Structures are given as structure tokens and as C-alpha cells.
Amino acid sequence: MPLTDKQQLMMDFIETYTIDRGFPPTIRDIQEGCKISSTSVVDYNLRILERGGLLKRSREISRGIELTRRKRSDSIQVPVLGPISAGNPLMVAPIDIRTLDSDDHVAVPEEIINQHREIVAFNVKGQSMINAHIDDGDVVILSLTREIADGDIVAAWLKTDDEITLKRYFKEGDQIRLQPENDEMEPIIVNAADVEIHGKVVYLMRGY
DNA sequence: TCCCTGTATCGCGGCGCTTT
DNA sequence: AAAGCGCCGCGATACAGGGA
């Protein structure tokens, strides 16, 4: 179906918003994002797009807009390399993530792949990162980068204990503070020489 | 007349605060 | 802890106006 400039703008906005935030926009988000002066205009054009089969709407729920096909967002299969602890660290053999192999895969949007040179996926076990909206059973996508900044959520290998854990990273002098995002859990503080950061979380996937 | 857009408003539901 | 209340976000719609 031919789209007006406004309809194309709305489609692009919905797609970008959904990719960036992981959930679809509201009518008012679209109104503001597309510089449209009225929600009725958004609704009118959404109806046209829905009639044309370009999106689906669930009117009984908020943010019930779903694009039926994505223009830019193909998916690529990424290996899921077993569980990573968001709780008490898991005992593991010393590992190099790049050498691991897996039969299990998840589909990750291509633009995420394109933004990072190397990525892998891990199943999350535990709830130490619940305040960062990372819950037990989620799949996190890690970028295997050494460029880590304070506040990044990282996969940290504790060398002395042969344990790997998912925590928020803070460098404090010669020590590293691995901060859980759970009010009931204490941070792990280790010498910088005793911890190896394997990568940082760049994407979160959750099934219902 | 039809298509498209804008203004204003309503009702629903979630959430947070206060009170009991 | 539960109930009551008000606020706010949100979707929906009635109605009016402009332009082809």
C-alpha cells in the first residue's frame, strides 16, 4: 500500500522506538515523536496502517501496537552459552568465552549484531540484577569487549574462586566492586588482578 | 463530498499517598 | 495490611474545519 509521508514517519518511529526501548510506543509517544498535534491524527493513521496489514493493534492493552513486518530488523542466530549467575556466583571451570560452543541459539536483531564486533548470549540464573530489570530466566546478550565503563553490567570471572557472575561494574582504585541490583544483596569487592571482565550486557531478551 | 487534520473531552485503569 | 481517594497516563471519540 502507498504510504503518506506522515504514515511512513509513524512506521519509522514505531520501529525505532520499539528497537531502542524493547516495547512499543503509546499513541502520545507517536504524537510527540512525529510532531503530530493530535492523538486523533495518530489514531486515524494507525487505523489505515492496520487496514493495510502493516501493523496490529491490541486495543484492550496499553502500548498494544505491533509491526507485522520489520523493514530493517532481520534476526541472526546467536549461541546461548549456558547459565550466568545473577545471584551467588556459579562454580565454573576457567573459561575463555570465545572457545565455548553451543547447540542452543536465540534470534537477535541484526542491528544489535552490527553495533558490536562479537556477541554471545547467556541464560540468567538468579535475581541479583532485578532492579536493572534482569530477572531469572532472561537471556542477556553480551558484547565481548574490553571497553568497560563504571556502571556497565558485566560478566565477571572471579579467578580465585573459578566463578562467573553478572553484576554492575565499578572500578575503585586497585579494586573492583561488583554491585548487584538487588537491595537485599551485598556487593562483591575484589582485587582488580583477581577478576576478568568477559563482556558487558548490551541487550536483554525475555519470553513470556 | 470525501479525506484528512485538529481540539476538546470522556472513561478506564494503574499507581501512590493517606487513613484506619 | 487493607481501603479509600485523587492524580495521571492512556485510548477513544465527538465534532468542527480546511482543502482538493
Q: Is the CB of A37 under 7 A from strand B?
A: yes
Whether the CB-CB separation of A152 and A169 falls below 8 Å is answered with yes
CA A93, CA A88: separation in Å to the nearest integer?
16
φ/ψ bin of A35: left (φ > 0), alpha (ψ from -120 to 50), beta (otherwise): left
Checking if the pLDDT of A32 tops 80, the result is no
Checking if the pLDDT of A171 tops 60, the result is yes
Same-domain pairing of A146 and A186: yes
Same-domain pairing of A88 and A10: no
Q: Could you tell me what percent of chain A has a pLDDT over 90?
A: 3
Q: Is the CB of A170 under 7 A from strand B?
A: no
CA A48, CA A40: separation in Å to the nearest integer?
12
Nearest nucleotide to A42 by CA–C1' distance?
B5
Q: Is the CB of A37 under 7 A from strand C?
A: no
Write down the pTM of the prediction: 0.51
Same-domain pairing of A51 and A100: no
Q: Could you tell me what percent of chain A has a pLDDT over 70?
A: 69
Checking if the pLDDT of A95 tops 50, the result is no
Rounded to the nearest angstrom, the gap between the alpha carbon of residue A43 and the centroid of all alpha carbons in its chain is: 29
pLDDT of residue A96: 43
Q: Is the CB of A39 under 7 A from strand C?
A: yes
Chain B positions with an atom below 7 A of a protein C-beta are 4-9
Structural domain of A79: 75-205
Q: What residues of A act catalytically? A: 128, 167
Same-domain pairing of A193 and A114: yes
CATH number of A24's domain: 1.10.10.10
